[in-house]
Structure 1
Amino acid sequence: MSLTSKQSQQPRGLRRLWRVPTSPARWFWLGGSALLYVALLIWYYYALRVQAYPGPLTDPLRLFGIIAFVLVLTTAGYSLRRRFVRQLPGKVQDWLWMHIWFGMITILIALLHDNYGRITNDFCQNLACLTDTYWATSALFALIFLVVSGIIGRLFDFWQTRVIAREASSNGVGIERAVEERLRELEYTIERYCAGKSDDFKRICMQTVKGHGASFAEPEQMVESERADWQSVQSSLQDHILLSRSLHRQRRARHLIRNWRVVHVTLACLSLLVISYHGIMELLTNVLHF
């Protein structure tokens, strides 16, 4: 009870401890991405004026494809920094903002590379178009699907992280590990109260601890000597119910975030294979002339 009372007496301002600190890198990468895209967009409209029939195989539209492919590989560096090569400079959060903004403008640059084909004109008439020009259309659609799924995942991640932060700020204990420790303390306390008590007393307490019910009721046949202990154990039972709910919500949010990341990483690997095949084959045949 002392732990709970101490937590409940904390000022409201301490709730900010559960928020992720902001990073100035998000504005740096946003500004750099915007400047790069504006420069390429100006170059794109200049190419439309000086070239009668610009297409994906003519300069500078071909260069846009090379830039888009380099950006795809650069955004993949976030996964390397986070999971494999942690010695790389910079914080993981800074790399994440690079991953987000570069991923968004890569779609726009890829559309410039293809002269907005398959989106505003020259639509696919059959499945054969997906494999034309070294899977060019498949690479474009894979990139669009990957970035859109990443945006949805980022919003989903933000939503579930707020759920965890809200629970940590309102349950009076904190995040998942602290809640688990507090639940064990409550279970030990409840077990001590159950020692030597009637079967109904023990049954209600154990059902509450095991989560068989969202509430509890007074035993039907209570011995008079147990009434004082019952009044004392009720607060522990109620705390256990509330903290169990909070722990369940935090675990569910964490599992949803983890499962979505697994799905996104899997899609990223498949998309990267298709995009890399198209990019490498285009470089070999139309740039290096192998």
Structure 2
Amino acid sequence: MVRLYTEHLKVGYGERPIVKDLSVHIPDKQITAIIGSNGCGKSTLLKAITRIIPHQSGSVILDGGQIAKENTKKLAKKMAILPQTPESASGLTVGELVSYGRFPYQSGFGRLTKKDLEVIDWALEVTGTIDFKHRPVDALSGGQRQRVWIAMALAQETDMIFLDEPTTYLDMAHQLEVLELLQKLNADQQRTIVMVLHDLNHAARFADYMIAMKDGSIVKAGTCHEVMTHDVLKAVFHIDAEIGRDPRTNKPMCITYHLLKKGESSHEEMVDPVYTGVAASY
């Protein structure tokens, strides 16, 4: 059963369309990576799926119902999102920030219950940030802060977590730290993880499913072996890439590439220019 999918989704800002007639499913309990060049609609798609921005037409379906009609608190119990640039946590301790993840479960005066406190500590433990609980968020390194934001998303107790470029501004070690944490959450707790990534090798290494976008449409969606190919990368990024195999994971990886000169490729060479893999076909 597919819990989350879009049908003929159209999203734009004013008169400018960003996502165009897009139909795609998100595999449940797997890691999905969305890739594509800057401005192709990756982040817009993520925001539309999580109802941060409205869609102009089409549908986003979750558990059989349209998210546009879902109660906000009920929706927040199903999906959590970590934006590309989280809001400032200035003046907050780690524990205070993570407690915000309990908002969907609070009522009345919003006081934290024993259950809330237990979930907060659990989220801190899982993300390896329990030792920072009483420290200011501002005093942490970039990698530590990112893990704290993920802890807040975990405290929301959702089955689905969406992340917009979670490794941005992090060095190589901290990037792996965050991605391995997400991989562990998926493996141990069956969380559905959906993330926008710029690094193609990270996407292929950590994702079970990849969605390659260009100009607001899907060029190819499937396993990393189906998406991480010379032809798909040529269509999406206009590059001539050499694809090899990661000796540790046997996943495909981009070994090297160069930009194609104007005229070296054409529209006709694109792979699956119209993607029709809507949920009903799976």
Identify whether the pair has TM-score above 0.5, normalized to the shorter chain. Answer: no
**Which structure has greater helix proportion?**
1
Max Rg structure: 1
What's the TM-score once normalised by structure 1's chain length? 0.24
Instruction: Report the TM-score when normalising by structure 2.
Output: 0.25
Structure that is richer in strand per residue: 2
